[in-house]
Amino acid sequence: MRLEPRQIVVSAERLEDCQDSLEDTFHEIVDQAISRGWSIDEILIALNGLISKEFADRDRATLH
pLDDT over threshold 80, residue 3: no
Q: Assess if residue 41 is contained within a domain.
A: yes
Segment 24-34 shows an average pLDDT of: 98
Q: Assess if residue 37 is contained within a domain.
A: yes
What residues make up the domain containing 35?
Answer: 27-56
pLDDT over threshold 80, residue 1: no
- Output 4 or 44, whichever has higher pLDDT: 44
Q: What is the mean pLDDT of the chain?
A: 86
pLDDT computed for residue 50 by the predictor: 94
Q: Assess if residue 9 is contained within a domain.
A: no
Q: Assess if residue 44 is contained within a domain.
A: yes
**Helices 40-56 and 12-35: angle between axes, nearest 10 degrees:** 130
Q: Assess if residue 14 is contained within a domain.
A: no
Segment 25-32 shows an average pLDDT of: 98
Sequence-distant (6+) residues with CB within 8 A of 22 are: none
| pTM for this model (two decimals) | 0.71
